[in-house]
């Protein structure tokens, strides 16, 4: 029974498949006939009678022949070619298998080296000056180190000038649009002032340090000259950090006028100068109060005598006994009124010498 049921299901499936395939085959035959009859009628000889019209294929309801609309292939949008870097035209040839180096890259490296040496040296000298302002004596070793660091700062400033002039020349040839950046000209003004201040420091501040060896810094200087030296130190430190900030902060390119940048730099110099003056005056007033305060004598140290041993104690008692003994003559029946006869403290007896 199961075998008969299985055969029945197979027969029904075969019949259904044939019924579904017949309309599609009919549609394909009609379409093929139309494609063959059309070209033969149109390609006939001139003057020939046209043949019967080609039959039109009627789509079957069982299998619709309407094809979906063709999907257009995505077209790749052409990206604009990147603008060539003008600095590549001024590149140095590579060596040892390395690619060519742009001139701008070499100038940036020199600029960073100059800033590293100069900014580090100025920071160290400023900390030393703050230490001397607290009253620390100026030694010969520190003065020699100060002179060496000052020379290193001068070399760093020369490197900055060389690389900066190289930048201006490169921008003039390859990228002239960068020359209108207000940050560039503000930085140039600051470096010019920094150079003039460095010459002043070498001519006036270093001799002051050499003359103050062995004592506190700026101890016996008049207020006006001392204030001028403080102004030079504040100008040096603030200018180095301002130039470093202008070379680092790219957000300032073309966004802030040069006058505003220079105004902020000048305000920072005045603030550092005033802070140095106030710190020196506060330190001097504190030192004056300490020196004018009356000094109290130091209390004498308490020295306790060592406790004597047995023999020393016996000798001390005998000495005290000898001091308290009075001689009484034999012809005197008693003890004179003006003579003292004291009992011995240790033995409790009256000593009388006959």
Please check whether residue 39 is in contact with residue 65, taking contact to mean a CB–CB distance below 8 angstroms: no
* 350 pLDDT above the threshold of 50: no
CA pair distance 265, 239, nearest whole angstrom: 7
Give the per-residue pLDDT at 141: 81
pTM of the model: 0.55
Most confidently modeled range among 33-37, 161-165, 204-208: 161-165
Cα atoms in the Cβ-side hemisphere of radius 13 Å centred on 304: 3
Give the per-residue pLDDT at 176: 84
Q: 235-258, pLDDT tens digit by residue?
A: 999 999 999 999 888 888 888 999
CA pair distance 226, 284, nearest whole angstrom: 13
Please check whether residue 122 is in contact with residue 239, taking contact to mean a CB–CB distance below 8 angstroms: no
> Positive or negative CA dihedral for 176, 181, 184, 188?
positive
Tokens 């002039």 found at: 165
Q: Structure tokens of 340?
A: 């003292």
Neighbours of 8 (CB within 10 A): 10
Query: Pick the residue with more confidence: 96 or 162?
Result: 162
DSSP SS3 for 263: helix
Contacting residues for 113 by C-beta, under 8 A, at least 6 apart: 156, 159
* 127 pLDDT above the threshold of 80: yes
């Amino acid at each position: 029974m199961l075998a008969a049921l299985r055969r029945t299901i197979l027969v029904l499936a075969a019949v259904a498949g044939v019924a579904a395939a017949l309309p599609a085959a009919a549609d394909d035959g009609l379409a093929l006939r139309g494609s063959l009859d059309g070209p033969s009628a149109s390609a006939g000889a001139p003057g020939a009678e046209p043949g019967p019209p080609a039959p039109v294929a009627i789509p079957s309801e069982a299998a619709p022949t309407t094809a979906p609309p063709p999907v257009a292939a995505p077209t790749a949008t052409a990206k604009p070619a990147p603008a060539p870097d003008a600095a590549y035209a001024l590149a140095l040839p590579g060596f040892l298998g390395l690619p060519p180096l742009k001139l701008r890259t070499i100038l940036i490296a020199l600029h960073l080296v100059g800033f590293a040496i100069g900014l580090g040296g100025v920071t160290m000298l400023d900390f030393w000056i703050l230490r001397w302002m607290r009253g620390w004596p100026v030694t010969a070793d520190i003065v020699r180190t100060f002179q060496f660091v000052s020379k290193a700062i001068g070399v760093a400033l020369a490197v900055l000038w060389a690389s900066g002039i190289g930048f201006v020349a490169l921008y003039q040839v390859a990228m002239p649009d960068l020359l209108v950046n207000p940050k560039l000209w503000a930085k140039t003004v600051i470096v010019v002032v920094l150079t003039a201040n460095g010459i002043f420091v070498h001519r006036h501040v270093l001799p002051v340090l050499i003359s103050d060896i062995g004592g506190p810094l700026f101890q016996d200087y008049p207020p006006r000259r001392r204030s001028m030296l403080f102004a030079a130190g504040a100008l040096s430190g603030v200018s180095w950090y301002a130039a470093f900030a202008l070379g680092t902060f790219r957000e300032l390119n073309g966004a802030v006028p040069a006058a505003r940048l220079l105004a902020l730099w000048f305000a920072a110099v005045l603030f550092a100068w005033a802070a140095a003056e106030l710190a020196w005056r506060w330190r001097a007033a504190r030192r004056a109060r300490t020196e004018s305060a009356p000094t109290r004598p130091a209390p004498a140290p308490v020295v306790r005598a060592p406790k004597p041993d047995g023999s020393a104690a016996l000798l001390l008692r005998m000495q005290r006994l000898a001091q308290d003994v009075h001689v009484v003559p034999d012809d005197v029946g008693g003890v004179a009124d003006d003579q003292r006869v004291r009992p011995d403290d240790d033995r409790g007896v009256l000593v009388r010498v006959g």
